[in-house]
Structure 1
Amino acid sequence: MRILLIDDHPLFREGVALLLKPLVEGLETWEAGSCEAAFELLAQRGSADLVLIDLGLPGLSGLEGLQRLRLEHPEVPVVVMSSSDDKDTVMAVLDAGAMGFIPKSSTSQVMLGALRLILAKGIYLPPSVFLAARASPAVAAAPAQGRSAAVASPAAGRRPADLGLTPRQADVLHLLLQGKPAKLIGRQLNLSLSTVKAHTSAVLRALNVTTRTQAVLAAGRMGLHFEEPAAGQGASDDCMASSSR
């Protein structure tokens, strides 16, 4: 697995790289101090498996970089790590296509747990993003004075099957949460565009939402996490989708 860290503070990048190291065997981390340097790295080395990006960057801002990443590298999931974690900021990055948000004000324990959850195909969002005054099952409540918050382990969350979703619908949902467009989802899962749209409608209904951003929030609130995508089921899924219409 290759993870690209985009942050203008070398010490922070090095610290996050050390946190990531034991999470996945054979992990390779790339570091960039700006969006411009990050895009040069991607051009030289090819696509990364995950991008962690700060918002307060010199030159091209983190939000602008996120938007460009979603446009030029729609296959790469992006998670924002920022010191600005108010609800408006988090909603803005989710609307721009990020699949998660980790506040820099988090303790190392929370950050490590959040990264572990993300690498285990879960969704991490700070409690501040939720409209309700209760914490998400995916994250801990805001810590009381003198106490650190903890992140639930991936096993503590829910799976798409708990919502009545089929394995292929779960695959579509996971790629949708990453901000991938329908055409790319279809190509990656070997599904027709009409089947992707049918599955997308089904997963949004299951989450009781109407947009991708709302789906990310719902998935974070539930602590939803995913298995590896099933292979070789595209044709049968197309038949099922067409027979259900």
Structure 2
Amino acid sequence: MRSILEISFPECDVMEAGSFEEALDALQQADEVDLVLLDITMPDVERLSGLRQLRADFPSTPVVMVTGLNDPIIMRDALAAGAAGFVPKSLKRQAILDALQQVLSGEIYLPDLESVGSDDTRIREDEEIRAKIDSLTPQQRVVLGHLVAGLLNKQIAHELDVSMTTVKAHVSAILQKLNVFSRTQAVIMANRVGFVD
């Protein structure tokens, strides 16, 4: 992305940040920023929390979500939260440039719906995943949140002040309700629909 910007906009200064905190610091110190490209999976950001904070702190700076997730629901939610555009990383170079030019000229950019996998099947699958997650008890949702955060059973037991046996029972129940066979599958499923406990 950086090389595309530097080649196509040779006059522009490109700032990079490895985390959302770094990005906030850079924006606060910068004189004027024309555009922010925010990766939806950036460290220390939960789903669209970074977008919401940028819109609150820098309301006049357009924010374009850049993502490898071809999810029409996330796209819809991002636009509702104030994104000026939604650019899948799978777009060709010229399409990315056209999208950024459109945003810089004051418009909102949306990829065509086919390119973000907006078929009914995908939407129905996501609804089914959400229904399965909704069937979890409050404590199971908390445990799932810890699984998504990458905690081991021992760490979860410590965090919740419960026994390892209790954590294992919760994890087993979560896998059964989500109809998956491993913690990794459960985490992938939760991330797909942007689960945040």
Quickly name the TM-score band, shorter chain normalised.
0.5 to 0.7
- CA contact under 8 A between 1:100 and 1:123: conserved in structure 2? yes
Residues 1-245 of structure 1 aligned to structure 2 (within 5 Å): 16-24=1-9, 26-61=11-46, 63-128=48-113
- CA contact under 8 A between 2:84 and 2:103: conserved in structure 1? no
What's 1:140 paired with?
A: none
Structure 1 residue identity aligned to 2:58: H
Any idea what the Cα deviations from partners look like across 1:69-123, whole Å, max 9, x if unmatched? 1111111111111011321110110111101111111122322332233334443
Structure 2 residue identity aligned to 1:74: P
SS of corresponding position for 2:59: coil
- CA contact under 8 A between 2:40 and 2:66: conserved in structure 1? yes
Structure 2 residue identity aligned to 1:28: D
Structure 2 residue identity aligned to 1:93: A
- CA contact under 8 A between 1:81 and 1:104: conserved in structure 2? yes
What's 1:224 paired with?
A: none
Structure 2 residue identity aligned to 1:115: L
Distance 2:94 2:10 in 1: 20
RMSD of aligned C-alpha atoms?
2.3
**Which ranges of structure 2 fall in alignment gaps of 5 or more residues?**
119-197
CA drift at 1:27: 0.8
Structure 1 residues 57 and 96 mapped into 2: Cα distance closer, same or farther (>3 Å)? same
Name the % identity.
37
CA drift at 1:22: 4.1
CA drift at 1:129: 8.0
Distance 2:102 2:66 in 1: 14
What's 2:146 paired with?
A: none
SS of corresponding position for 1:80: strand
Structure 1 residues 114 and 78 mapped into 2: Cα distance closer, same or farther (>3 Å)? same
CA drift at 1:56: 0.6
Structure 1 residues 125 and 89 mapped into 2: Cα distance closer, same or farther (>3 Å)? same
Any idea what the Cα deviations from partners look like across 1:125-177, whole Å, max 9, x if unmatched? 111289xx9xxxxxxxxxxxxxxxxxxxxxxxxxxxxxxxxxxxxxxxxxxxx
**Which ranges of structure 1 fall in alignment gaps of 5 or more residues?**
1-15, 134-245
Q: Find the structure with the greater CA-based Rg.
A: 2
- CA contact under 8 A between 2:36 and 2:63: conserved in structure 1? yes
CA drift at 1:31: 0.5
> Which protein has the bigger helix share?
2
Higher RCO (Cα < 8 Å, 6 or more apart): 1
Distance 2:10 2:106 in 1: 16
SS of corresponding position for 2:48: helix
Structure 2 residue identity aligned to 1:117: Q
